[in-house]
Structure 1
């Protein structure tokens, strides 16, 4: 097991956030490399290789072009590696431990955010960058207090304390924090409404797309665009009100860059396609593919910026696989997979519309209208039976919807099958573009990225102690 002696807390200790106080190692620039003034780390949360593969297949077959991510490989523009994803407590990580490995530079147990097995509390990397004068921020399609953004920002031993994380963010005064999670900040928050406090502290708060688009860089920004997670992209695309009110991940990302790019010392930004993971947990194929494509759109915009800028290191990866979906051989595999273009809504949206009192024909018609295929009567009967066979408390399934059964039925019509409904221990794709990327090794541990980012920015590294 790896153990790390960690950095001093700096002025953030005055905010009441605990840190370990040990010495830094002197920064060693990457030999022959240009300094990365800016760092953008992009995370498609819970993305199995099959998800990346199928999104690229869809883009190629339906749009006539490669995905932006795999286009970097095809055009030989980026450096590629494999990364392991273990936590301190398991070879199969959760998002909190995975993000903490990058944010804090050490492995922690599942469920923890930058609190080590022996109580260590490393200073999260965005705090380090902020101390050095960079502007910093996170954007995500899930609550901004969720595990992946929080792993770059705070120390707390339970990722479930999102009300607490929202208050911790206030003390940090980061420059851009945008995503879902209004219920952890606003009037519905258990510990009281924090939004007035954010306004008093000088924040600009945006609660819809138009407010976000008009933001300027005069104040730090908090963007809250949904009570919990933001809508799946497939649902947003087919709802005019959501199109009007809800920004895309690419729009949030480019607004964050616009707000931070003119800073003299540069910026560091984490971008998360968080609902890729939620879709995989739900075995929700159209939600998965279209959220991965929305993430890919953001990748394309970021690479365009980085190519023009010349001083930005872009890191593209995932924290772990989830459910290991894949397209399997059948006589009509092409036709069935291509039928995804006729989907208008996610499984989550569709199942929420179903009433068990509906006739079989009404359910067949509902599915035909919103997902473009005609379900056989025997499959409708099976689905209705399983509405009564749900285990309460299933992850990301507060409505107790029959995701597993519907995903299994849907595989007959799409030829996409799933290995399960939870995280996997797979090694994952790691892609880099820009200053420092040439020094990426073919295989890295997840916690290696912490020092890689610091080194690329010519900042002091965290000292590693291996036991």
Structure 2
């Protein structure tokens, strides 16, 4: 008997698989050929490839093991592809058009949620699954009315109509909608709070982690844990008050699954790490990496559920790149990158503590205390000069903080540098695990995911005009 025959007849026979080649065993995804009863689509919004890489590098160096996402590649557990992320109006998409490509099955102009260039209004995919008897929901670290969750849910020609979207959700009566954005539901609305309307329609409303963990399966759920976006994970982790009050993305995702998993027709859930995108827009290295790691924690929990369940398709991706950060070569690149392990707060949190009335020494002390960086006098002075140079109206910068300058300066101390402060047209990572994943081609366009989900669930597919 030769060595290959021994492997086939001996080793594999010993585990009850006498007739399969080893490579066939490894390459066989969980649930291949089965119908997907459940679908979980996980989106790290605005995740450039460098973000995924740096989170894995951080995890390896800080904890001695890589990220859960790349672990799927290392262990050959999932199917991997590249995805083109363009919108109908640009090679560089925004989150609304990107999510609409998945939710509606067609490309729409930037800024639109499932409204095409000619006024087309395809039915969003969560409405389709709800009509088929499944439970449906969304989880996010930004407002639940924001572009990525809304792209799975509604048709509206302006993504900024979040107060309108909040009312639309009430009529749609989805099963689990949890994240931030209470200002679009509560007393800060121009027309007054609509929370009583949700309660009158039978919703449970949770406003903190304790209330979320006490929810039951008997009624639909609205969870609102921040006025706008949730805190950055690095800030939440270093503030016990926030840890007690605000759930992590993994906790929100697993709560949503627990509320829907026993439904006989199954469920469909979108999970978004939305503040990865906000951190990239801000060139905020600690905000970026720690929120990507929080997303990765959720990936690990979801994959663990899917492995045990055997009927769940998990899709992991991003809607577009943003700012293209990366770890660049320098004599002390390892040491500088490892300094991120000393960060207790995001750039956003830290800059909000600073103003030009503070002394140079006080600013140095604050930076060292909260980020472990011994910043030079020249760099502190450069930072304070640039507090005067802020352009009002920058995306996710309502406080007009000097994100660009601070991100540039931080590059000296961490060797993480940025290509810009906005979305990119890069092709992005797409990963699938579970029943239906075997249908993924090595390269797809974003709108093809819509039919992949429908096909995996054995539902009628959407006709797509080729773009």
- The question of a shared fold, defined as TM-score above 0.5 by the shorter chain, is answered with yes
Aligned equivalents of 2:210 and 2:103: distance in 1?
A: 31
Work out whether 1:330 is the aligned partner of 2:330.
yes
What are the superposed Cα offsets for residues 348-400 of structure 1, whole Å, 9 maximum, x if unpaired?
A: 00000002111100000000000001100000010000000000000000000
Q: Give the secondary structure class of the aligned counterpart of 2:179.
A: strand
Secondary structure of 1:244's aligned partner = helix
Q: Residues of 1 paired with 2:65 and 2:276: CA distance?
A: 21
- Report the Cα distance in structure 2 between the residues aligned to 1:114 and 1:439, rounded to whole angstroms: 25
What SS does the aligned partner of 2:293 have?
Answer: helix
Give the distance between the partners of 1:274 and 1:32, measured in 2 at CA: 30
C-alpha separation in 2, matches of 1:402 and 1:35: 50
Report the counterpart of residue 379 of structure 1 in structure 2: 379
Displacement after TM superposition at 1:192 (Å): 1.9
CA distance in 1, matches of 2:241, 2:84: 41
Please name the residue that 2:419 is paired with.
419
**Corresponding residue for 2:279?**
279
Q: Which residue of 2 aligns with 1:141?
A: 141
2:303 maps to 1:316: no
CA distance in 1: counterparts of 2:285 and 2:463, whole angstroms: 42
Where does residue 240 of structure 2 map in the other structure? 240
Alignment of 1:359-378 (within 5 A): 359-378=359-378
**For residues 88 and 436 of structure 2, what CA distance do their matches in structure 1 show?**
28
| 1:131-187 CA-partner distances (Å, limit 9, x unpaired) | 000000000000000000000000000000000000000000000000000000001
Cα deviation for residue 32 of structure 1 reads 7.1
TM-score by length of 2: 0.93
Residue 227 of structure 2 is matched in structure 1 by 227
- Aligned to 1:387, the other structure's residue is in SS state helix
DSSP-derived class of the 1:41 partner:
strand
Q: How many residues align?
A: 437
Tell me, yes or no, if structure 1 residue 60 matches structure 2 residue 60.
Answer: yes
Unaligned runs of 5+ in 1: 1-30
Q: CA deviation at 1:463?
A: 1.2
> Is the contact made by 1:163 and 1:191 (CA closer than 8 Å) also made in structure 2?
no
Are the counterparts in 1 of residues 314 and 433 from structure 2 also a CA contact under 8 Å? yes
Q: What are the superposed Cα offsets for residues 319-353 of structure 1, whole Å, 9 maximum, x if unpaired?
A: 00000000000000000000000000000000000
Cα distance in 1 for residues equivalent to 2:32 and 2:195: 46
1:316–1:432: 8 Å Cα contact kept in structure 2?
yes
* Residue matched to 1:294: 294
- The answer on 1:406 being equivalent to 2:416 is no
CA distance in 1 between counterparts of 2:464 and 2:47 reads: 29
Unaligned runs of 5+ in 2: 1-30
**Distance apart, 1:275 and its partner CA:** 0.1
* Paired position in structure 1 for 2:447: 447
Match of 2:163 in 1: 163
- List structure 1 runs of 4+ shifted beyond 6 angstroms: none
**Quick check: 2:45–2:318 contact (8 Å CA) kept in 1?**
yes
CA displacement at 1:190 relative to structure 2: 1.8
Query: Which residue is equivalent to 1:178?
Result: 178
8 A Cα contact 2:32 2:434, kept in partner: no
CA distance in 2, matches of 1:402, 1:190: 31
Distance, in Å, in 1 between the alignment partners of 2:355 and 2:236 is 23
Kindly indicate whether residue 82 of structure 2 is the aligned counterpart of residue 119 of structure 1: no
In the alignment, the residues of structure 2 paired with residue 378 and residue 119 of structure 1 have an alpha-carbon distance, to the nearest angstrom, of: 54
Query: For 2:306 and 2:244, how far apart are their aligned partners in 1?
Result: 28
Q: Is the 8 A contact 1:178 1:223 kept in 2?
A: yes
The aligned counterpart of 2:22 is none
After superposition, the C-alpha distances for 1:400-422 in whole angstroms (9 at most, x for unaligned) are: 00000000000000000000000
Aligned pairs for 1:85-104 (under 5 A) are: 85-104=85-104
1:55 shift after superposition: 0.1
SS of the residue aligned with 2:465?
strand
In structure 2, how many angstroms separate the alpha carbons of the residues matched to 1:451 and 1:191?
Answer: 39
Q: Does the CA contact (< 8 Å) of 1:137 and 1:177 recur in 2?
A: yes
The 1-side partners of 2:235 and 2:219 are apart by: 32
CA distance in 2 between partners of 1:157 and 1:251 (Å) = 32
* Post-superposition offset of 1:105: 0.2
- In 1, distance between residues paired with 2:387 and 2:233? 25
TM score, norm. by length of structure 1: 0.93
How far off its partner does 1:466 sit? 3.4
Q: Give deviations 1:396-450, integer Å, cap 9, x for gaps.
A: 0000000000000000000000000000000000000000101100000000000
Q: Which SS does the other structure have where 1:313 is aligned?
A: strand
User: SS at 2:380's partner residue?
Assistant: helix
